[in-house]
A and B are shown apart, each in its own frame.
Chain A
Amino acid sequence: DQQVKQNSPSLSVQEGRISILNCDYTNSMFDYFLWYKKYPAEGPTFLISISSIKDKNEDGRFTVFLNKSAKHLSLHIVPSQPGDSAVYFCAASRSGYALNFGKGTSLLVTP
């Protein structure tokens, strides 16, 4: 059963605007959440993470928000750039063990 869900398979955003990628999870034991970015035929690249003791983590243009009560997290990219076009995977783990991945959201940033 999918414990991490990314319900939007794709998202298209204009360059310079905000991209918001969403992720829901079902396992309340998850305590660590990550976002990975992936280009075709390459391995995922770690982007940003957040611990369950926080509700926000920011790194440059990327911010991850965590709403534990709703079991929801989101990744905000501001401003979006064409080079951000990729598949973004949300992942979660319990106690630092194996990651559970969502199916990914394909982001297209248009000029």
Chain B
Amino acid sequence: DGGITQSPKYLFRKEGQNVTLSCEQNLNHDAMYWYRQDPGQGLRLIYYSQIVNDFQKGDIAEGYSVSREKKESFPLTVTSAQKNPTAFYLCASRVPGREGNQPQHFGDGTRLSIL
């Protein structure tokens, strides 16, 4: 089945530690995105990548880093510089919009909590 896989579903981190969230897709999509959702809030864009080896900061990139070495993978690292990392993290992908708009498809998310 084609889709987006985020792992793990639940993740715990000690203060001061970096942690990496995995996102893999087999949809052959060029564009991938990371969002953060907090209670009662919409999804806020952290980083996005339109193509391999290229990525752009979103609205709340501080304290996060990403890489895009392969088309199917877009891992997100939550660094110790992120002061409030507890949240639900969602990864998405889509076909870029050159041939008309396409919706983003989402993974099932990773819930990160600080111990």
Which A residues have a C-beta under 8 Å from some C-beta of B?
2, 4, 6, 9, 31-32, 34, 36, 41-46, 49, 51, 89, 91, 93, 95-99, 101-104
Cα A96 to Cα B101 with chains together (Å): 5
Chain B interface residue count, CB cutoff 8 Å, equals: 30
Please judge, given known A-B contacts A51-B101, A96-B97, A98-B33, whether A4 and B107 are in contact too, CB under 8 Å.
no
30 CB contacts below 8 A, A to B, read A6-B42, A9-B40, A31-B101, A34-B103, A41-B88, A41-B109, A41-B111, A43-B4, A43-B108, A43-B109, A44-B90, A46-B103, A49-B103, A51-B101, A89-B42, A89-B43, A95-B97, A96-B96, A96-B97, A96-B98, A97-B97, A98-B33, A98-B48, A99-B45, A99-B104, A101-B35, A101-B42, A103-B40, A103-B41, A103-B42
Give the residues from 60 to 115 in chain B that come closer than 8 angstroms, CB to CB, to chain A. Answer: 88, 90, 92, 96-98, 100-109, 111
